[in-house]
Amino acid sequence: MLPTRLAATFQFAITLTCGAAAWAAPAPPSTQPALPGSQPAPGGAPAPRRAPAQGETAPLPTPSSAAQKLYAAAKADLLQVRSLLKSGRTQSSVGSGFLVGTSNLVLTNYHVVSEFALDPATYTGEWVDTSGQRGSIELLAVDVLHDLAVVRVNRYGTGFFKVPEDAVKLTQGQYLYSLGNPLDLGFAISEGAYNGVISRSFYDQLMFTGPINSGMSGGPSVTADGEVAGVNVAKRLDGELVSFLVPIRYAQRLLKQVAEKAVPPKDFTAIVTQQLLAHQKGMVDQLLSGPLTKKVMGSYEVPVRESEQMRCWGNSSAQAAARSEKPFAVDTTSCAMESAVFVSGSLQTGAIGIRHQYLRSTGLDAIRFAQLSSASFKNESFGSYKDSRMTGPQCTEQFVTNGSLPMRAVLCVRAYRKFAGLYDFSLLTASTDDGAMNLQSRLDARGVSYENGMRTARAFLEALARTSVK
């Protein structure tokens, strides 16, 4: 179904920029030829270039003097952050990080350190600097909701990367410079521009129009003056140079937490669980802060929630039915949050999805239409019993009436094995009031408490309705 694919494409086309090979396909070369009339980077101008002769390799564009100056000043405080298997110390994933001020504290992304945060018995961390020196890493704090972490290393910064006390004031179009170790090829700096705050993410992110490749996760993005504006975190696979940064103000808060604790936590799974529980509370409270929006689909009213964080898409096969290509028509509305919380390489959670499917017969008799709608109802998945992350789905099926609409309803619940108190809820309903049309609706609430899962399912079920129009 196209709308589902569109929504899913938006959500999952965002890839975290840690260097694990499975997370993102290699991106095109980060430096694009300058277009005629394009503006040079501040402090420098493109070098004159001629077209390469046949068989001759085109020369690389000359980096701006601002980028050269920044990289030369910053490279001593840039690190690569590696996750290694303890057994054999084989590299599992790589990202970037940077030393804060003159301290031995390093800021990076949570997803760069997630393996040894959640499974310290199997994984450990290592840093490597631009001169090839390396050492071990001690994990001090994580912020899974904003994808940040603080680690301690056995070397100190020169003071180049200063995390400001206040949020950095940026102007749209302002040059930013992202640093890191793209694709594990070597330390690099890339130029781009700040283009505002992303409002469709549950938590603020800055849009950086420039190349951020896998392996640059956790690296700093700085202004021409060297002020840290954000931390590299993600990019869109379906866009051109559309990348994202974590605003530096969230890193300020995490560093303050580290300063207040003398001893680092021993159990980061418990901390991640607490943060996910806080996220789901805010997410469900926001979802149910007012009555769900009603949309009319044929003879039914269906609930949705359209907001900055959740968008809906729709499509219809009515024209095909009108051309007698099919003896039935289907309208579909799908709504999904456009971001989820990264927990591990195999788990993203903390999101809501809604789908409504309105089927009606244009040439089928009642028995054949019932077979069609029943087959559609059964063609749903609630997860595998073999999933190591979660328990198998425990489902309850009932015929219910919510006042205006009789329905067949299936409610399935799965518990997270590693994160106590978190569940995935799925509610599937099918109307039973008319032999020539059928409304099937599905709600998925991922990573919610049992109470909030039931609360969300109840609100969704009560909002489905039959209209007087047929």
pLDDT at 17: 56
Position 22 in a domain: no
The bridge status of strand 293-297 relative to strand 242-247 is unpaired
Instruction: Select from 243, 265, 287 the last residue of a domain.
Output: 265
Q: Which domain holds residue 178?
A: 65-265
Q: Are residues 242 and 286 in the same domain?
A: no
Position 46 in a domain: no
pLDDT at 54: 52
Average pLDDT over residues 10-22: 44
Amino acid identity of residue 299, one-letter, is: S
pLDDT at 76: 97
**Is the model's pLDDT at 366 over the cut of 80?**
yes
| Percent share of the chain, pLDDT over 90 | 73
Give the distance from CA 375 to its chain's centroid.
33
Q: Are residues 241 and 290 in the same domain?
A: no
Tell me 76's DSSP state.
G
Position 18 in a domain: no
pLDDT at 165: 81
Six-digit token string for 335: 């709504």
The answer to whether residues 97 and 220 touch, using CB atoms and an 8 Å cutoff, is: no
Please write the tens of the pLDDT for every residue from 55-93: 555 555 555 688 999 999 999 999 999 999 999 899 999
The bridge status of strand 175-180 relative to strand 148-152 is unpaired
What pTM was estimated for this model as a whole? 0.84
Instruction: Select from 265, 294, 315 the last residue of a domain.
Output: 265
Share of the chain residues as helix, strand and coil, in percent rounded to the nearest 5: 20, 35, 40
**Residues in a beta bridge with 139:** 151
Minimum mean pLDDT range among 2-16, 274-288, 392-406: 2-16
Position 242 in a domain: yes
**Residues in a beta bridge with 23:** none
Name the pLDDT band for 409 (thresholds 50, 70, 90): very high
pLDDT at 6: 27
Average pLDDT across the chain, whole number: 86
Position 307 in a domain: yes
Please write the tens of the pLDDT for every residue from 46-59: 334 444 455 555 55
Q: Are residues 185 and 297 in the same domain?
A: no
Q: Are residues 229 and 279 in the same domain?
A: no
Instruction: Select from 204, 234, 265 the last residue of a domain.
Output: 265
Position 15 in a domain: no
For 47, the enclosing helix (H) or strand (E) is none
Q: Are residues 366 and 408 in the same domain?
A: yes
Six-digit token string for 291: 């009555």
For 49, the enclosing helix (H) or strand (E) is none
* Number of domains forming the structure of the chain: 2
Please write the tens of the pLDDT for every residue from 88-134: 899 999 999 999 999 999 999 999 999 999 999 999 999 999 999 99
Give the other-Cβ count within 10 Å of 424's Cβ.
Answer: 22
Position 86 in a domain: yes
CATH number at residue 354: 3.40.1000
Position 48 in a domain: no
